[in-house]
Chains A and B, each alone.
Chain A
């Protein structure tokens, strides 16, 4: 027995030693491999010390140089290998040829452009003062190399796919007319090229960072933007450093920005509240309803709101009873108390929506509607003839994670019961949701979509054109000859005023016939700690205007 006990004891001791050693060297490993840990710790120290120095010296310029800014994001801002863009545009690492700033097209790496009357030939004049992070010059050859890269696609992404047929439909040739001029020739008129190529349409990378054969990004992206990727630990954080040779406006104040990936909504709230991060950056990073709570509980925070290009809809399956009947769609629209939904579930920050186009697009027409339960019941009764009907409402789990869709669905469930619809809510994860929607196995769905191009043509056509991709695929079943004709017309109309008129007409029809029932225009809500200033003060410029507060 004695022997056994000695063995056991020695074993126990060994186990303890092993466990401690394990934990110990586990940390040691990271230190030597990534040097992340030491950095983290030292940065925390420097944070503490610089806070002190702030008090004594009272200057922030030094702080901007020395103190890392920590931001919190929902997803890793660098999706990395396998993603067409590798890094989100909001990191300001790469830049597009044209920019969509709040719905208006502004120059990016291209400073101006013109096209022939038919819109089949487009000439872009590039900036001649742009250098990549590696010191090489940006020019027409680089643009051609990138166009060649898009041709390797479609390349999938967590943002939007890179698909040359979408951005440059019917592209015949791309030529360099001189070092800083590029000419695109198309088989068919493309009246809105500058819209389609904005933002995610034309990411310009240095050819050294992608594989010319496959188009895949092979290293940290070498772009022209204000920040460079310095360090990245997948799904943990990414560190960006200021590009001191940036050519353009708004040279960033802060030298080092760390973006921490915090996938859990509640943990994000805790992180901003505890001061662990200074701001939350992704849309949906904080539920609108939580903003009020945060601001009222504490005066250390501030909120910046900008109009979002997202619109929340109740999208309906128009191929099936009851939503194949326009009166039923109108009834539902009347039965939705948008004001209340906004006030109670979205903290009153959004805007009730009655029109199909986002209020952020330049072609938005302000259309108003009303909440009228009596009218709703009347219309529904005409369709249902006093019967009750069961309808399936599907909600995708990922949407429900960033928007209060669960509560909204449950609220609509109780409201629609009043007009004879017994709603059966199904929260489905991504695949199952897509499957149900693509197979038309649903009656309605809470969903949102954005207009990532300032010109709404492709989206409008997709959703309400009889042949439109989404319309067909998702079984919206909407078909209106007049709308089709208008869409065909606007496609080849270059005159801005004329286009506006056509879009107005389409919006009026859509508000009447409700191929999709708009509920709210979304708002981007970004909260930040008052320790920083200049957050989101310039549209389209992400972090450059941020600095530590006095």
Chain B
């Protein structure tokens, strides 16, 4: 996508997202303080020249914590989303390509997972399996199915097309056909789904951390910070506004970019309208 063609909104979103990512990557260089450095005598300070956003309940610098706050959850969201798409991709490709009994088995297997309602099931799984692995498992379990169905549909359609027939005639093996020719056809779909889904996963990660089922203190994480700030935010509202604003900013910018990508790649299939 050329920069000139971008709408102002999309441009802002790209800048915001890039900003947040850069900020997270270079957090150790940008942050004025160590996000874990406790200075309890300095707790719950209002914003000042030393602490631009003030300090939290045990005197840690809020700005530094906010800057660090996205690192873990963004990586987590990317990994979990990628993983759930990978699972969906593999299963979808297998089902679509082989068809027949394999397809039937896989389809009925997936409908079990489709029967698991998102948020509440995520909470159950994350609560039962503690820590970061639990979160990843929770997200993957609750979100791979939608994608695998789309992949399956696409694969089946592409399979019908002549060129695959032609390649088979040339003696290309099954695996090669799948990998070399079918998967790339899904690329634009994958990009769009990835962006839209990741926005939701970021919110999910934040919610789980907020509930105490995700990242744990003292990790500087936006969701954790909001949870910790609930008691104290009246003395310094930024404690809750700052991390919240960053969560909104990142998921908003990802959503806007997702919209733009969808328009740009002109995918107008019902199946891709990922809610």
* A–B: direct contact at CB < 8 Å: yes
Q: Which residues of A contact B (CB under 8 A)?
A: 265-266, 287, 289-290, 293, 297, 340-341, 344-345, 397, 404, 406-407, 410-411, 413-415, 425-427, 429, 432
Report B112-137 residues with CB < 8 Å from chain A CB.
127, 130
Contact of B216 among A265, A287, A426 (CB under 8 A): A426
In the complex, how many angstroms separate the beta carbon of B131 from the nearest chain A beta carbon? 10
Q: Are B235 and A411 in contact, with the CB atoms below 8 A?
A: no
In the complex, how many angstroms separate the beta carbon of B163 from the nearest chain A beta carbon? 38
B4 contacts partner chain A, Cβ-Cβ < 8 Å: no
Contact of B57 among A407, A426, A432 (CB under 8 A): A407
B228 to chain A: closest residue by CB: A406
In the complex with contacts A410-B217, A427-B217, A293-B234 CB distance below 8 A: yes
B58 contacts partner chain A, Cβ-Cβ < 8 Å: yes
Report B22-73 residues with CB < 8 Å from chain A CB.
36-38, 40-41, 43, 57-59
In the complex with contacts A345-B58, A427-B212, A414-B230 CB distance below 8 A: no
Q: Are B37 and A414 in contact, with the CB atoms below 8 A?
A: yes
Contact of B232 among A289, A411, A426 (CB under 8 A): A289
Q: Are B216 and A413 in contact, with the CB atoms below 8 A?
A: no
Bound Cα distance A20, B127 (Å): 36
B79 contacts partner chain A, Cβ-Cβ < 8 Å: no
With A340-B41, A410-B58 given, can you name 4 additional A-B contacts, CB distance below 8 Å? A297-B234, A406-B217, A407-B57, A411-B40
Q: Are A432 and B130 in contact, with the CB atoms below 8 A?
A: yes
Q: Are B218 and A410 in contact, with the CB atoms below 8 A?
A: yes
Q: Are B40 and A344 in contact, with the CB atoms below 8 A?
A: yes
Chain B residues near A413 (CB-CB < 8 A):
38, 218
In the complex with contacts A425-B217, A427-B212, A427-B216, A411-B38 CB distance below 8 A: yes
Bound Cα distance A265, B231 (Å): 8
In the complex, how many angstroms separate the beta carbon of A130 from the nearest chain B beta carbon? 44
Chain A residues near B216 (CB-CB < 8 A):
425-427
In the complex, how many angstroms separate the beta carbon of B30 from the nearest chain A beta carbon? 22
In the complex, how many angstroms separate the beta carbon of B138 from the nearest chain A beta carbon? 16
Q: Are B218 and A425 in contact, with the CB atoms below 8 A?
A: yes
0/1 string, B199-212, CB within 8 A of A gives 1 = 00000000000001
B233 to chain A: closest residue by CB: A266
Chain B residues near A410 (CB-CB < 8 A):
38, 58, 217-218
Chain B residues near A429 (CB-CB < 8 A):
127, 212
Chain A residues near B59 (CB-CB < 8 A):
344
Contact of B58 among A265, A397, A407 (CB under 8 A): A407
A-B pair number, CB within 8 angstroms? 56
Bound Cα distance A444, B218 (Å): 17
Chain B residues near A426 (CB-CB < 8 A):
216
Contact of B212 among A265, A293, A345, A397 (CB under 8 A): A397
Chain B residues near A407 (CB-CB < 8 A):
57-58, 228
Chain B residues near A345 (CB-CB < 8 A):
40, 43, 57-58
In the complex with contacts A397-B212, A407-B57, A425-B217, A414-B234 CB distance below 8 A: no
In the complex with contacts A411-B58, A413-B218, A265-B230 CB distance below 8 A: yes
Contact of B231 among A287, A341, A432 (CB under 8 A): A287
In the complex, how many angstroms separate the beta carbon of A136 from the nearest chain B beta carbon? 47
Q: Are A289 and B57 in contact, with the CB atoms below 8 A?
A: yes
Chain B residues near A289 (CB-CB < 8 A):
57, 231-232
What are 24 pairs between A and B in contact, CB < 8 Å?
A265-B231, A287-B231, A289-B231, A290-B231, A340-B40, A341-B40, A344-B41, A344-B59, A345-B40, A345-B57, A407-B57, A407-B228, A410-B38, A410-B58, A410-B217, A411-B40, A413-B38, A414-B38, A414-B58, A425-B216, A425-B217, A427-B216, A429-B212, A432-B130
Q: Are A344 and B43 in contact, with the CB atoms below 8 A?
A: yes
A410 to chain B: closest residue by CB: B218
In the complex, how many angstroms separate the beta carbon of B56 from the nearest chain A beta carbon? 8
Chain A residues near B57 (CB-CB < 8 A):
289, 345, 404, 407
> Which 9 pairs across A and B sit closest by C-beta, in order of nearness?
A414-B38, A407-B57, A266-B230, A407-B58, A410-B218, A344-B40, A411-B58, A344-B43, A411-B40
A297 to chain B: closest residue by CB: B234
Bound Cα distance A406, B197 (Å): 33
Bound Cα distance A289, B43 (Å): 12
Bound Cα distance A266, B240 (Å): 13
Chain B residues near A397 (CB-CB < 8 A):
212
**Residue with the highest number of chain B CB atoms closer than 10 Å, among A293, A345, A410:** A410
**Residue with the highest number of chain B CB atoms closer than 10 Å, among A265, A406, A426, A432:** A406
Bound Cα distance A407, B55 (Å): 13
Chain A residues near B38 (CB-CB < 8 A):
410-411, 413-415
Q: Are A266 and B41 in contact, with the CB atoms below 8 A?
A: no
B131 to chain A: closest residue by CB: A426
In the complex, how many angstroms separate the beta carbon of A77 from the nearest chain B beta carbon? 23
A290 to chain B: closest residue by CB: B231
Chain B residues near A427 (CB-CB < 8 A):
212, 216-217
Report B130-175 residues with CB < 8 Å from chain A CB.
130
Bound Cα distance A266, B228 (Å): 11
Chain A residues near B36 (CB-CB < 8 A):
414
Chain B residues near A287 (CB-CB < 8 A):
231
Chain B residues near A404 (CB-CB < 8 A):
57, 231
Chain B residues near A411 (CB-CB < 8 A):
38, 40, 58
In the complex, how many angstroms separate the beta carbon of B217 from the nearest chain A beta carbon? 6
Chain A residues near B127 (CB-CB < 8 A):
429
Bound Cα distance A287, B228 (Å): 13
Chain B residues near A341 (CB-CB < 8 A):
40
Q: Are A293 and B58 in contact, with the CB atoms below 8 A?
A: no
0/1 string, B215-243, CB within 8 A of A gives 1 = 01110000000001011101100000000
B130 to chain A: closest residue by CB: A432
